[in-house]
């Protein structure tokens, strides 16, 4: 399988990744990547599937075609089709689907294990009776303050969406992506020729950015969230002034009534 070894080295270099960076994405040792590229070892099937997701190329093309001789534009036709992934789920004792929780510390591993039933089985489970049990849900702990007033550390409950084409513009989604990892954003899909979708933060200090729809591994429509922190009340000077002015009007009104008596 010398072809696959050569393709791995070519695709890694094309993406500007070092062997160490690629190894970290896959949870492997750098020496393992080196062995694959130098034809001292053949990647097992699970590793090959990981490579197809990272490099967005079909398994058949990865193992049987010299990708260095195919232009990047033509390689778009060799990408694995969306919707063919098998969603890993778990069931409770009554046969109902669990809601697995992906904590921040597990988010990196989720990129490699999201299709692995054993990995998904070991994730913590959440029971939320208000969710429609005829749907598939997953919960994700979000990081950062890009979606304020939803606080960092909040748990977002998402309903599985099979096709990026069904995105409703301006709605909230959790996206599991090759390049950006797990992100929580408002999403806009304008169906442009390049297949890009726009991700927008509610915190306007963060600029919108685009990702390729083919880079999306999983898509979850946000249906609710849990946070241990309440949203902060008005703290700016304008809001404080409004409150003081309102209180002053009330005091003056009460004073006028007492004088009339």
pLDDT for position 84: 42
pLDDT for position 233: 63
CB atoms within 10 A of CB 31: 12
pLDDT for position 86: 56
Average pLDDT, the chain: 83
Residue that the structure tokens 């009460």 belong to: 254
Q: Please write the tens of the pLDDT for every residue from 123-157.
A: 999 877 777 777 889 999 999 999 999 999 999 99
Q: Please write the tens of the pLDDT for every residue from 154-178.
A: 999 999 998 888 999 999 999 999 8
Residue at 31 is within a domain: yes
Q: Please write the tens of the pLDDT for every residue from 40-74.
A: 998 887 788 788 877 878 777 888 888 888 876 66
- Co-location of 108 and 216 in the same domain: yes
Residue at 243 is within a domain: no
- Co-location of 111 and 38 in the same domain: no
pLDDT for position 79: 58
Sheet order of strands, 209-212 included:
125-126, 99-102, 137-141, 155-161, 216-226, 171-177, 181-189, 196-200, 209-212
- Co-location of 109 and 209 in the same domain: yes
Q: How far apart are CA 157 and CA 161, in angstroms?
A: 13
- Co-location of 126 and 8 in the same domain: no
pLDDT for position 235: 54
- Co-location of 66 and 137 in the same domain: no
Say yes or no to pLDDT of 251 above 80.
Answer: no
For residue 72, give its domain range.
2-78
- Co-location of 109 and 205 in the same domain: yes
Q: Confirm if 192 and 161 have CB atoms less than 8 A apart.
A: no
Q: Burial-class residue 224 by CB neighbours within 10 Å (0-12, 13-18, 19+).
A: middle
- Co-location of 124 and 33 in the same domain: no
- Co-location of 110 and 158 in the same domain: yes
pLDDT for position 78: 60
Higher pLDDT, 93 or 121: 121
- Co-location of 126 and 195 in the same domain: yes
Q: Confirm if 227 and 154 have CB atoms less than 8 A apart.
A: yes
Whether pTM > 0.85 for this model: the answer is no
- Co-location of 129 and 220 in the same domain: yes
- Co-location of 61 and 136 in the same domain: no
Q: How far apart are CA 18 and CA 162, in angstroms?
A: 32
Residue at 143 is within a domain: yes
Number of domains forming the structure of the chain: 2
Say yes or no to pLDDT of 203 above 80.
Answer: yes
Q: Please write the tens of the pLDDT for every residue from 72-93.
A: 666 665 655 444 455 777 877 7
End-to-end CA distance of the chain: 99
Q: pLDDT over 90 for what percent of the chain?
A: 41
The domain spanning residue 54 has which CATH number? 1.10.260.40
């Amino acid at each position: 399988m010398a072809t696959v070894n050569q393709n791995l080295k070519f695709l890694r270099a094309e993406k500007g990744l070092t062997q160490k960076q690629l190894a970290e994405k896959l949870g492997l040792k750098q020496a393992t990547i080196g062995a694959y590229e130098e034809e001292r070892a053949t990647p097992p099937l699970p590793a090959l599937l990981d490579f197809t997701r990272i490099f967005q190329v079909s398994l058949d093309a990865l193992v049987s075609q010299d990708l260095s001789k195919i232009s990047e534009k033509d390689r778009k036709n060799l990408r694995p089709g969306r919707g063919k992934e098998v969603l890993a789920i778990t069931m409770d004792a009554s046969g109902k689907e669990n809601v697995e929780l992906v904590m921040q510390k597990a988010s990196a591993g989720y990129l490699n294990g999201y299709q692995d039933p054993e990995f998904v089985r070991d994730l913590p489970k959440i029971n939320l009776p208000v969710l429609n049990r005829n749907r598939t849900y997953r919960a994700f702990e979000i990081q950062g303050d890009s979606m304020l007033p939803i606080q960092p550390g909040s748990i977002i409950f998402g309903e599985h969406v099979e096709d990026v084409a069904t995105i409703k513009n301006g709605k909230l989604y959790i996206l599991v992506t090759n390049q950006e990892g797990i992100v929580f954003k408002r999403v806009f899909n304008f169906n442009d020729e390049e297949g890009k979708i726009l991700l927008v933060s509610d915190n306007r200090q963060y600029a919108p950015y685009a990702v390729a729809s083919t880079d999306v591994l999983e898509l979850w429509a946000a249906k609710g969230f849990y946070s241990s922190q309440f949203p902060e009340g008005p703290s700016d000077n304008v809001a404080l002034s409004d409150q003081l002015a309102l209180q002053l009007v009330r005091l003056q009104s009460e004073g006028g009534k007492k004088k009339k008596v």
